[in-house]
Amino acid sequence: MQFRTKISISKSDNPIDYNSKMVSLGSCFAVNMAEKLDYFKFQNTCNPFGILFHPLAIEKMIDFAVSNKLFTEEDVFFYNERWHSFDVHSDWSNSNNEELIANLNAIVQSTEQQIKEATHIIITYGTSWVYRNVESNAVVANCHKVPQKQFSKEILSVEIIENSIKNTVDLIQRVNPKANIVFTVSPVRHLKDGFVENQVSKANLISALHSSSFQLPTSSYFPSFEIMMDELRDYRFYAEDMIHPNQVAIDYIWERFSETSISEESFSIMKEVETIQKGLQHRPFNPDSESHQQFLSKLQDKMAKIQKQFPEIQF
């Protein structure tokens, strides 16, 4: 795909390869990129606490993991027949409060280990807009459809975001000083906040990232938002809701990420993995035919060859 405007992106000094271990945290777009990493069988953990949109939410959960803090009954509440935590996504909500607390504390422990072992941590910020619980005065990660009157809405300043980024980096480096941290801003527009308000929100994130992360040798910035806005500046790259990038856009941003952030030595393995993935998705007309059995046998040989070189890869 050729474009008149193409953003210049420096190649990573510490590229991802098949020995890398990654943790991806952040907004919906973090999930899109994590799905690509999973498809090509890189070692990656995505959003152990669920989708988190703003810097303070991500910072808080990294703090829980790194400091091995535990969730207690004070951190959960009952609403609409389920128990929730304002600090995590509703995917973790549970009809039993003890199970919810136990599950969250298990995630804290596993995430701590994943951050300690990670070679790369990819953080995707989605918005500067946050909701503050009126009763506790705490900024929440998820409102869980609790009535709007229980929250006040505010936008994080560049200074607050910058401090949050620094705190996040410090927390990671406390347990893993060698981890490479890749920051990016989600290209998904939060138009429920308003068109102008969305632009201000993204601008605050970008301004904060460029004033802090570039000062750190282990941190880098990947321009997901800028690629969507300036290289893919056409509605044919959006899904039906005209907000989320469609598959063509996701594939293109992944291509740009691959060429700048993944080692060249990994490309040949990625091609082999993709061949296997397409083979596994193949649906034959006659599953019992000799030709299909030969096809499956060759596919198994390819999988065994890859797994002998990289035992972590599972199909």
Three-state SS string over 232-271 comes to CCCHHHECCCCCCECHHHHHHHHHHHHHHHECHHHHHHHH
Per-residue confidence (pLDDT) for residue 285, from 0 to 100: 84
Q: How far apart are CA 150 and CA 146, in angstroms?
A: 7
Per-residue confidence (pLDDT) for residue 283, from 0 to 100: 86
Buried b (16+ CB within 10 A) or exposed e, 45-78: bbbbbbbbbbbbbbbbbbebbbeeeebeeebbbe
Rounded to 10 degrees, what is the CA torsion of 263, 264, 269, 272? 130
Per-residue confidence (pLDDT) for residue 258, from 0 to 100: 96
- The answer to whether the CB of 191 falls within 8 A of the CB of 171 is no
pLDDT band with cut points at 50, 70 and 90 for residue 301: very high
Q: Is the pLDDT of residue 218 over 90?
A: no
Q: How far apart are CA 41 and CA 88, in angstroms?
A: 27
Residue keyed to tokens 């700048």: 260
- Cα→Cα distances 196→189, 279, 288, Å: 11, 46, 59
Residue keyed to tokens 């935590």: 85
Percent of the chain with pLDDT over 90: 86
Per-residue confidence (pLDDT) for residue 256, from 0 to 100: 95
**What average pLDDT does range 274-284 have in this prediction?**
91
Q: Which pTM was predicted? A: 0.93
